[in-house]
Chain A
Amino acid sequence: MKIFNLVWLELGQRKGQLVSGILAITLGIAVIVAIRSISLVSEKAVAINLDNLGANIMVLPQGATIDNYYSADIDAPTIPEEYVERILTSSLQGVDNLSPKLTRRVDIGDQKFVLTGIIPANELASKPLWQSAGLFGAELAASCGENPQNESLGYKDEKLQRKSIDSLSMADCLLGYSAAQKLGLKEGDALTIMGNELKVSKVLTETGTIDDDRVFAHLKTVQNILGIQGQISAIEIMGCCNAISDGLLGQLRNILPDTRITTIGQIVSTQIKTNQLMNQISLIILIIILIVGGISIGNYMWANVNERKKEIGILRMIGFHKSSIYSMLLIKAVFMGLVGGLAGYIAGALIAWFLGPTLAGINVVPIPLLLLYSVLLAAGIAVVGSLLPAYFASRFEPYSNMQEI
């Protein structure tokens, strides 16, 4: 008869106690799994929403402000275009897309417009509103991590995904909706900027943003027109929200020390704070459950070993070592933890599935990885909670089963 058989026989002996012990673990794990499932899916959903909003990080010349960038003054500072390569060749995680830009206010006829040099495909990826206009073929969606949609487009490698793709002719330009109105131009017309003639390849649909008043051309074209080769005004980055909270900004600053790197708007920072709050709440609940679960299991084990004092004494009397008694109780704890963890995962996934749409407005599907964490955590709690009772049980004297001393 092996120790496993002994444990198994004993488990079947006190079913009520066993069920209550496992239930304590199950409930704790269920709460953690439910919260983590909802918060993980919620974070992902928010990250996708943020991606859809466009770029959320700006790399600007040292000392420049966002106002400098938008005003596009003639003497606005610039940064080397080579900085784009630095980011592309780095191993940074969480950079979904880059849009290097050169902006300058120029005179076209008797009106002033902001001429913006872009790399088209990247520009598209960071401008969902443009994507809806159906420019340049397939859309290039962005999100945190790998994106199946991009894979289908042949951009499986994230670095490839980040590479600039040139699909706007050097002799073409795009006109914002208002700019086209003011200039009275349409697709196919010619536009002369500082003596350089460009063909209007497309008039963009109205977006209600500053882009409506802009003239867009290929970055190289704009650099040639302005005579500032190899320089850009800013790099707009679509950063994954989680990566930003995990220190993406700091990593960018390390790569580009003489620049000013900032997040755009309150959206990102608010979401980061929300995500951090959710994670902190999860952590607090996790700690509480660890303590409560450990104490519950410990309590159960204390009661169990005290009830089994005579039985343990018999085992010791006939030749079981202390270590065998210790192992026997810890094997029991691991079993309870595994069953409790599995049951807790199932219960938690069901709770998240039912409550996700109500609490967070999202559909929550089970996250298989949480099953592994659940059983490991539950077994860990059960073992830690049982260490002390098992230790004391192993020290029961072999005469504990005798009536008289």
Chain B
Amino acid sequence: MTPILSTSALSKHYFHRDGLIMALNDISISVTEGSFVTITGPSGSGKTTLLMALSGLIRPTSGKIYFKEQILDTDNDRALVEFRKKYTGFIMQNFSLIPYMTAMQNVLLPLSLNGLSAENQKLRAVELLDLAGLGNRMNHYPRELSAGQQQRVAIARALANKPAIIFADEPTGNLDPQLSVEILNLLKDINEKNRITIFMVTHSPAASAYGNVAIRLNNGQIIN
């Protein structure tokens, strides 16, 4: 099966006054479409750095990233923006919602970038918020929503442009266990029904159990 995302000898180094930090070191992975990938490891092991590199949020120091066997031009900002816009969705631990926009407006943000008419954008946003169980909270601001509801808005936004891959960074990190289960179930549902590949960084063994591909990192290297 054709991998949706793969890397070859991917490395990310930072220069720090104490010396060179090798956040990622020689990472080579290959993930097929529809996988639910969990990235685990101790703090500082490079989990989030790997997620950001794979999603085009940061440029690797060396190595290559392939999206559907096409090399991703990580030196070209426009190419990375287009990759993120068309093929990815993001779910973050801190929800990353714009505080002065309603749930509806937050979901409309990525939709406004894909050329849909205003009416179709709105229809799609309503559909996604309904899917996320927020049909009656569309005009609520993030501050008026619970943590779980905010994360559902983030999930609806991540799905807006029908992405091929969703990158989730500790999506249940700020949620209580019950809400965590709800969110993880929703992600699993999205993964299975829509065949959207998910990369999820997590500390939680319970959360990592939802994945079907596991990447364990330590000191910037894969250990399994």
With beta carbons under 8 angstroms apart, the residue of B92, B100, B110 that contacts A401 is: B92
Q: Which of A7-15, A48-56, A279-287, A331-339 contacts B (4 or more CB under 8 A)?
A: A7-15
Pair A1/B93 contact, Cβ less than 8 Å: no
Contacts A1-B109, A405-B48 given; does A319 touch B84 at CB 8 Å: yes
CB contacts (< 8 Å) of B49 on chain A: these are: 405
B96 at the interface (CB under 8 A from A): yes
A315 at the interface (CB under 8 A from B): yes
B90 at the interface (CB under 8 A from A): yes
Taken together as a complex, chains A and B put the C-alpha atoms of A13 and B78 apart, in Å, by: 30
A298 at the interface (CB under 8 A from B): no
Contacts A9-B101, A318-B85, A318-B109 given; does A401 touch B96 at CB 8 Å: yes
Pair A398/B57 contact, Cβ less than 8 Å: yes
How near does chain A come to B204, taking the closest CB pair, in angstroms?
15
Pair B112/A402 contact, Cβ less than 8 Å: no
Pair A1/B52 contact, Cβ less than 8 Å: no
Taken together as a complex, chains A and B put the C-alpha atoms of A311 and B95 apart, in Å, by: 12
CB contacts (< 8 Å) of A404 on chain B: these are: 48, 169
A399 at the interface (CB under 8 A from B): yes
B105 at the interface (CB under 8 A from A): yes
Taken together as a complex, chains A and B put the C-alpha atoms of A99 and B78 apart, in Å, by: 73
Pair A405/B52 contact, Cβ less than 8 Å: yes
CB contacts (< 8 Å) of A402 on chain B: these are: 48, 52, 57, 92, 94, 96, 169
Chain B, range 32-75, C-beta contacts under 8 Å to A:
48-49, 52, 57-58
Pair B77/A322 contact, Cβ less than 8 Å: yes
CB contacts (< 8 Å) of B78 on chain A: these are: 321
How near does chain B come to A2, taking the closest CB pair, in angstroms?
7
A320 at the interface (CB under 8 A from B): yes
How near does chain A come to B16, taking the closest CB pair, in angstroms?
11
Pair B93/A317 contact, Cβ less than 8 Å: no
A152 at the interface (CB under 8 A from B): no
Pair A317/B100 contact, Cβ less than 8 Å: no
The range of chain B's interface size is: 20 to 34
CB contacts (< 8 Å) of A2 on chain B: these are: 112
B98 at the interface (CB under 8 A from A): yes
Taken together as a complex, chains A and B put the C-alpha atoms of A404 and B94 apart, in Å, by: 11
Taken together as a complex, chains A and B put the C-alpha atoms of A66 and B191 apart, in Å, by: 101
Q: Determine which residue in A314, A320, A403 has the highest number of CB atoms from chain B within 10 A of its CB, and name it.
A: A314
Pair B57/A399 contact, Cβ less than 8 Å: yes
Pair A397/B100 contact, Cβ less than 8 Å: no
Pair B109/A315 contact, Cβ less than 8 Å: yes
With beta carbons under 8 angstroms apart, the residue of B52, B101, B105, B110 that contacts A318 is: B110
Pair A321/B100 contact, Cβ less than 8 Å: no
Taken together as a complex, chains A and B put the C-alpha atoms of A286 and B86 apart, in Å, by: 49
Contacts A317-B57, A402-B48, A402-B169 given; does A9 touch B92 at CB 8 Å: no
Taken together as a complex, chains A and B put the C-alpha atoms of A322 and B77 apart, in Å, by: 9
CB contacts (< 8 Å) of A9 on chain B: these are: 100-101, 105
Pair A1/B84 contact, Cβ less than 8 Å: no
CB contacts (< 8 Å) of A316 on chain B: these are: 81
Per-residue contact bits, chain A 388-404, to B (CB 8 Å; 1 contact, 0 not): 00000000011101111
Pair B112/A1 contact, Cβ less than 8 Å: yes
B152 at the interface (CB under 8 A from A): no
Interface residues, chain B, with chain A CB atoms under 8 Å away: 23, 48-49, 52, 57-58, 77-78, 81-82, 84-86, 90, 92-94, 96-101, 105, 108-113, 121, 157, 161, 169
Q: List 9 A-B residue pairs with CB atoms under 8 Å apart, sorted by A's residue number.
A: A318-B84, A318-B110, A319-B85, A321-B81, A397-B58, A402-B169, A404-B48, A405-B49, A405-B58
